Chains A and B, each alone.
Chain A
């Protein structure tokens, strides 16, 4: 039960953070990616800020035996940098650049009623399902 409350809380906070920092606004996102145009550094500051706080969180996590609710702290263990990672990142980057929306902001935008989110997110779901379907064949 506590696990669920923490999940909900984290989602609310993350969403608010995205809204407050302007990351749900493609103008700001594409403004950051537009390094040759009118460059908007905001995204770097937001990501950097999140990263720094998370960095200290990770340090704390490593010292804890388990999470607050007693479950193991589940950190990914893969280290190999392979084609899937890089090609995936490339495709994601291209999609991100095209409209300036990534999963988090996209989902938050659903809650704002922006119609574009109701096109983007279903397409995103289809993309994810296509991968899920292909996954066993990709090895």
Chain B
């Protein structure tokens, strides 16, 4: 489904389905395009659609405020500095065989793994 959505955006309107990029465009109100607003809206509404078929999956998210805030700040800053996230680099960029995206993907995967390792197995925090 992720692939199909990506392809629809690419072939349909010629744009990359990189969520961090699309979302950050909303923070530049003078230049944001309507399709970007609607894309994000689509993401937000999708759980409502999902629930027409079945109850939402149970998810377990950390309840630690410092972790949530810290993680949010890092993800926000990092995705802008690095020009993308798991959808933009991980799916779209690698699908284009972009060396930049491969480098970015390997890097964020590596640091994600290291963070979980240290957080879980060394510090017992995660």
Contacts and interface: CB of A to CB of B under 8 A. Distances in A.
Interface string B102-119: 011101111111111101
Contacts of B44: 15, 107-108, 110-111
A15 B14 contact: no
Given A3-B13, A92-B74, A120-B68, A87 B81 contact: yes
Contacts of B81: 84-85, 87-88, 91, 131, 138
* Chain A interface mostly: helix
Nearest to A66: B14
Interface in A115-139: 116-117, 119-132, 135, 138
B85 A14 contact: no
A41 interface: no
B13 to A, nearest CB: 5
Interface in B10-52: 10-17, 19-20, 23-24, 27-28, 34-50
Interface of B: 1-17, 19-20, 23-24, 27-28, 34-50, 56-63, 65, 67-83, 85-87, 89-96, 98-100, 103-105, 107-117, 119-121, 126
Interface of A: 3-22, 24-27, 30, 33-37, 46-47, 49-58, 60-61, 64, 66-69, 71-76, 78-81, 84-104, 106-112, 114, 116-117, 119-132, 135, 138
